[in-house]
Amino acid sequence: MANSISIFDTTLRDGTQGEGISLSADDKLKIALKLDALGVHYIEGGNPGSNSKDIEFFQRVKALNLKAKVTAFGSTRRKNSIADQDSSLIRIVESGVPAATLVGKSWDFHVRTALQTTLEENLAMIFDSFAYLKRNNVEAIFDAEHFFDGYKHNPEYALMALRKAQDAGADWVVLCDTNGGTLPSEIHEIVSRVRAELTAPLGIHTHNDCELAVANSLAAIQAGARQVQGTINGYGERCGNANLCSIIPNLQVKMDYRCISDEQLQSLTTTARYVSEIANANMPVGQPFVGNAAFAHKGGIHVSAIMKDSKTYEHISPELVGNKQRILVSELAGQSNIISKAQELGLDVTANNDKTKEIMERIKELEHQGYQFEGADASLELLLRDAFGEMTEIFKLESMKLIVEKSNGGMNAEAIVKVKVDGQTVYTAAEGNGPVNALDNALRKSLEQFYPSINNIHLVDYKVRVIDEKDATAAKVRVLMESTDFNNTWNTVGVSSNVIEASWEALVDSIRYALLNMAKIKKTQDEPREQLGLVNH
Amino acid sequence: MANSISIFDTTLRDGTQGEGISLSADDKLKIALKLDALGVHYIEGGNPGSNSKDIEFFQRVKALNLKAKVTAFGSTRRKNSIADQDSSLIRIVESGVPAATLVGKSWDFHVRTALQTTLEENLAMIFDSFAYLKRNNVEAIFDAEHFFDGYKHNPEYALMALRKAQDAGADWVVLCDTNGGTLPSEIHEIVSRVRAELTAPLGIHTHNDCELAVANSLAAIQAGARQVQGTINGYGERCGNANLCSIIPNLQVKMDYRCISDEQLQSLTTTARYVSEIANANMPVGQPFVGNAAFAHKGGIHVSAIMKDSKTYEHISPELVGNKQRILVSELAGQSNIISKAQELGLDVTANNDKTKEIMERIKELEHQGYQFEGADASLELLLRDAFGEMTEIFKLESMKLIVEKSNGGMNAEAIVKVKVDGQTVYTAAEGNGPVNALDNALRKSLEQFYPSINNIHLVDYKVRVIDEKDATAAKVRVLMESTDFNNTWNTVGVSSNVIEASWEALVDSIRYALLNMAKIKKTQDEPREQLGLVNH
């Protein structure tokens, strides 16, 4: 179809070039699942020729049977060598991916300065590399690095580079604004000219150095490109890559192109937030379309107009992208999610009863304090069960003391806890490698005589995030913990201005959840992890 | 001059509609001084008819004798009333401003739905209000609210609204994309048509709901607008207003328009950072042009090309906007990153000498332990300076003890530190909201008598990440801290299995780095405060 646009996601490759973005192989697999559910057509996973983390990703991703084409990234063959003997190209083919992107030079200045070879050799490198991929039945995408700068300096050579890839059978020719310095009017003009010169389908890859990456992507599509490369939340080197979370709704809602299904578009907001959680990167509150303030209304006049008709101050309906309108602070955050979660637990929750309103108020208050239940299902479940009086108190903390001492280079941490279990008071102390470990050890020690299975549980991830940055080291922090018992995984949350207290909250929730759900855990486990076979890792 | 563009800053008015942005009258005066130094032509200060904070601002700003025109904001007169008797218009004139902006309706739907009056009465409201301003010798700017939406629905009426302002003598007619939903191609087409219909100079005012505010502003300028309205760092309601920190360099460096002088352009980065400090809003690390990562380079291939010629991966020279190149160090990068970082610091490092090899070994070993210098360039600088014997020991920790206690719901944290400074032993204790805050307080307390300026430094971000997940709560954690004074931001790292020890490391590095750069800090501090006579506030 003429108005179909192919979405190429490079969050897992170019996105990880962003400052502070670092993803493990597990993280990458979790994100790949979400991207596949969103409906992107290509998921670029990394460079199988470069590092062990990416090699692991390409091996394990096969078991997920994604609809999207998992794509490997590499460069055209080395100068003065043979493609069939290029170890990095060989590894791409051996990784078994259905598609691969090769980056190559199209700016004569770069060929001479960065690559330090002749213009002819660079053209041969492009031709040979694509011919090699096509001989091996890999869908082949040419990322023409610095294409726009190259075209502006030497249009003949830049076009020659594209034609070499096309002649060798490349399935896509993608024009890259690598330095992010090109303006939308230039993009439109240059893509139009390239469209007239080439037969291969064109793609666009932009960077946000001028705050124009989204506009540049749209301009290229309007000039005839049919693939757009970008990342979730615009992660990427320097100022980031083009942000798919803005490009997709612009194309689909405003410009009548088709990228993903309307249902998939409604998962855009949760996808953006999920990826930001995994990447441990704060999402700007005002991020277009998917940010928490994207449809928030503050001014009195605006709000009264909004109440008369929401299109007075809203450019689209927020539900189209799975976001929601917010007026003042009152957000019935994910009310339907919470209701369905409670119903799943067999609790009597419906939209209109008083109990539900009470719970909603409580959750709203906690979210206002900085709790976030999207990434902490187990804490949410405990909260709901508590509200329905379904919880018996398994243990009760009477007091806790933690001492951390450093002198002569050594550092010690010890925790003393006093808990009441089954009517008995247990008073224990334990050491640890750090304060949270000392607390964890002391708490387990006091419980293990009553619940021996507690020793099967352990923590697999621990994240701390400052919520309210203006108070410096006195700011509130949110701790997210992920725990596992070899078969299942669950997440808990704690919030406090004291990192120890927040950790303690999340730790206690984790253990309460484990003990209460010994029988139930199997049912509520995290599906993606099961699919991923992450259990024994 | 045909290529002169008038910069209209509304940080102090529309910018304060952004979530979390709140400015006192003092804050507004400080920012106004910085904006004036940057060279913007209009500074919209607020609405003198609406609140006491703005009235105070308009009174006190006169004493600053700014070159920029301080501008008041208001609406066209109330429906079915007389402009000369409109209290809010009267207060604008009485405030003594040289220029005023009045917002009025140009979308028929809004006239009927939000304003609830007739189309004719709205046109009379526009005419009367501008005639009143001009009778009182105030430069008059018409902000045509929702102009683009209005034009798309009823072009005749939208143009009629503009003509009424023009006929009444308005000096500028500004086309507003109030809901931020318009695309650059539409902006270009509509502004071109308006340009052909009107004689008054045109302006553009956009919002970022589609991540297109900058592109839309540029498109309007290309179609003939000669004033651009926006805010520093793009602050504003929902997804923000158009970001002047991106618009100005795009217009001036890339498109040959003149907005401010080249010297003023070099103050763009410090202006952006200063405003974000005053507004207490974190600047995204990857903010175009002025962000800390806007000219940061990570990948090894990129860095080695950058060393050959910086325009290989930089779209402009960072110095043009007062920013600087940064080389990030990471596992992905090679030796070349570290060498150029060291050279940037003026250290004698070349690829082949023994010192360099020794440093590389040390960094590799630290990275293996879990340190990550890519997000911690201050720690890397300290490491390099230490290796070159360039650091004198500012203080030395003799011992540290931390006690966190919880009982009956309350939680306390206290830290006791013993440090040696200038040959003297200082033994201090302090409390805090949490353990890191208690340590921070105790350390500052022991140093402030020697280095009083230490109190100007504060921490803006604090992140903790488990590095090696298999050891559960005993796993190693990496702490990344971001600290700031008014002008600079720096990042430090600490690694340990003990979160307290890792935090301590990052904290100590942050303070060492700050003290090392003290001379720079002193120079750039307090200037605006002194001018304002704010010192005693």
Domain of B402, CATH number, reads 3.30.160.740
Q: Is A13 inside a domain boundary? A: no
Q: Is B129 inside a domain boundary? A: yes
How many CB atoms are closer than 10 A to CB B21?
18
| Tokens 């701390």 belong to residue | A464
Residue B76 in contact with partner chain A when CB distance is under 8 A:
no
Domain boundary among A328, A353, A370: A328
Interface subset of B 12-31, CB within 8 angstroms of A: 17-20
Nearest CA in chain A to B435: A498
For residue range A30-41, list pLDDT tens digits in order: 999 999 999 999
Task: Mark whether A166 and A200 lie in a shared domain.
Answer: yes
- Chain A to chain B Cβ contacts (< 8 Å): 346
Domain of A493, CATH number, reads 3.30.160.270
Task: Mark whether A222 and A265 lie in a shared domain.
Answer: no
Mean pLDDT of the residues in chain B = 87
Q: What's the average model confidence in pLDDT over A226-248?
A: 97
Residue B498 in contact with partner chain A when CB distance is under 8 A:
yes
Do residue B398 and residue A404 have CB atoms under 8 angstroms apart? no
Residue B478 has pLDDT above 50, yes or no: yes
How many structural domains does chain B have? 4
Domain of A297, CATH number, reads 4.10.430.20
Buried b / exposed e over A205-235, threshold 16 CB at 10 Å, is: bbbbbbbbbbbbbbbbbbbbbbbbbbbbbbb
A73 in helix, strand or coil?
Answer: strand
Q: Is B326 inside a domain boundary? A: yes
Split at pLDDT 50, 70, 90, the class of B526 is very low
Do residue B473 and residue A405 have CB atoms under 8 angstroms apart? no
Residue percentage of chain A with pLDDT more than 90:
56
Q: Which residues of A touch B471 (CB under 8 A)?
A: 433
A376 vs A363: CA distance, rounded Å? 13
Domain of B516, CATH number, reads 3.30.160.340
Residue B281 has pLDDT above 80, yes or no: no
Split at pLDDT 50, 70, 90, the class of B465 is confident
For residue range A348-384, list pLDDT tens digits in order: 776 667 777 788 778 877 877 778 776 687 888 888 8
Helices B184-197 & A213-222 angle (0-180, nearest 10): 80
Domain boundary among B417, B450, B483: B450
What is the pTM assigned to this prediction? 0.74
Task: Mark whether B124 and B72 lie in a shared domain.
Answer: yes
Q: Is B387 inside a domain boundary? A: no
Q: Which residue has the higher pLDDT, B121 or B499?
A: B121
Q: Which one of A315, A400, A486 would you mutate to disrupt binding with B, by most B Cβ within 10 Å of its Cβ?
A: A315
Q: Is B1 inside a domain boundary? A: no
How many CB atoms are closer than 10 A to CB B134?
15
pLDDT at A150: 97
Split at pLDDT 50, 70, 90, the class of B474 is low
Task: Mark whether A416 and A440 lie in a shared domain.
Answer: yes
Q: A300 is written with which tokens?
A: 């009195």
Instruction: Look at A361-375, A430-444, B88-102, B239-253 and tell me which has the smallest mean pLDDT.
Output: A361-375
Q: A478 is written with which tokens?
A: 């949110």
Contact B98, B66 (CB under 8 A): no
- Furthest CA-CA distance within chain A: 85
Task: Mark whether B349 and B244 lie in a shared domain.
Answer: no
Task: Mark whether A179 and A233 lie in a shared domain.
Answer: yes
| Tokens 């609210």 belong to residue | B145
Residue percentage of chain A with pLDDT more than 70:
88
Task: Mark whether A157 and A196 lie in a shared domain.
Answer: yes
Split at pLDDT 50, 70, 90, the class of B486 is low
Task: Mark whether B405 and B364 lie in a shared domain.
Answer: no
Q: Which residue has the higher pLDDT, A386 or A321?
A: A321
Task: Mark whether B498 and B355 lie in a shared domain.
Answer: no
Q: Is A169 inside a domain boundary? A: yes
Residue B216 has pLDDT above 80, yes or no: yes
How many CB atoms are closer than 10 A to CB B133?
26
Q: Is B291 inside a domain boundary? A: no
Task: Mark whether A78 and A224 lie in a shared domain.
Answer: yes
Domain boundary among A303, A328, A353: A328
For residue range A12-24, list pLDDT tens digits in order: 999 998 887 888 8
Task: Mark whether A179 and A215 lie in a shared domain.
Answer: yes
Q: What's the average model confidence in pLDDT over B465-494?
A: 75
For residue range A113-158, list pLDDT tens digits in order: 889 999 999 999 999 999 999 999 999 999 999 999 999 999 999 9
Burial of A373 per CB tally in 10 Å (0-12, 13-18, 19+): buried
Residue A534 has pLDDT above 50, yes or no: no
Residue A433 has pLDDT above 90, yes or no: no
Do residue A406 and residue B305 have CB atoms under 8 angstroms apart? no
Domain of A164, CATH number, reads 3.20.20.70
Q: Which among A401, A461, A497 is the nearest to B434, CB-wise? A: A497
pLDDT at A529: 37
Task: Mark whether A500 and A426 lie in a shared domain.
Answer: yes
B10 vs B271: CA distance, rounded Å? 15
Instruction: Look at A416-420, A502-506, B495-499 and tell me which has the smallest mean pLDDT.
Output: B495-499
Q: What's the average model confidence in pLDDT over B82-97?
A: 95
Q: Which of B121, B143, B146, B120 is nearest to B133 (CA)?
A: B143
Q: Is A20 inside a domain boundary? A: no
Q: Closest approach of chain A CAs to the CA of B208, in angstroms? A: 7
Split at pLDDT 50, 70, 90, the class of B325 is confident
Containing domain of residue B521, as a range? Answer: 453-537
